[in-house]
Amino acid sequence: MKYTNEKNLPASMVSAIINDTYSMGKADISVTTLIQPPKIRVLTSRHKDEIVEDVADRVWALLGTNTHAILDRINHPDSLQEERLKIEVDGWTISGQADLYEDRTVTDYKTTSVWQVVNYGK
């Protein structure tokens, strides 16, 4: 992935965005990648060094990462939060990280702007 900074964001923000610490661990594929449309997954994999994205388009991802770090503070003794789990299926190691697993319920947190709700939610 190559990044541009067309909106001239501050260097510190650019650094925080491009130095993403996400890791799917020692796995062949993550659950998130597995559920992507196959064409997108294959094209992204084949052309990952050619893809160009502006850092301004990654600000919401940065905020989402921050939200997860905050919610990882949940202190319930019978819950799992932000824990990466793995399973082997037909020789493939698949990993996934639930935001919160508590009382037999998986919760997936999302961060968005109010405009997503105003324009698309009802």
C-alpha distances out from residue 63 to 16, 29, 49, 118, Å: 11, 24, 25, 20
**pLDDT at residue 25 above 80?**
yes
pLDDT grade, residue 27 (50/70/90)?
very high
* Mean of pLDDT over the chain: 92
pLDDT grade, residue 29 (50/70/90)?
very high
Q: Please, which residues bridge with residue 92 across strands?
A: 89
Percent of the chain with pLDDT over 70: 99
Percent of the chain with pLDDT over 90: 60
CB neighbour list of residue 15: distance below 8 Å, 6 or more residues apart: none
Nearest Cα to 103, choosing from 69, 83, 80, 72? Answer: 80
Question: How far apart are the C-alpha atoms of 76 and 45, rounded to whole Å?
Answer: 38
Instruction: Give me the number of domains the chain comprises.
Output: 1
Give me the pLDDT at residue 74, please.
Answer: 82
Q: State CA 11 to chain mean position distance.
A: 22
Domain that holds residue 9: 2-120
Dihedral-angle region of residue 68 (phi above 0 means left; psi in -120 to 50 means alpha; beta otherwise)? alpha
76-118 per-position pLDDT tens digit: 888 888 889 999 999 999 999 989 999 999 988 888 888 888 8
Give me the pLDDT at residue 63, please.
Answer: 92
| Residue 96 burial class via C-beta count within 10 angstroms: exposed 0-12, middle 13-18, buried 19 and up | buried
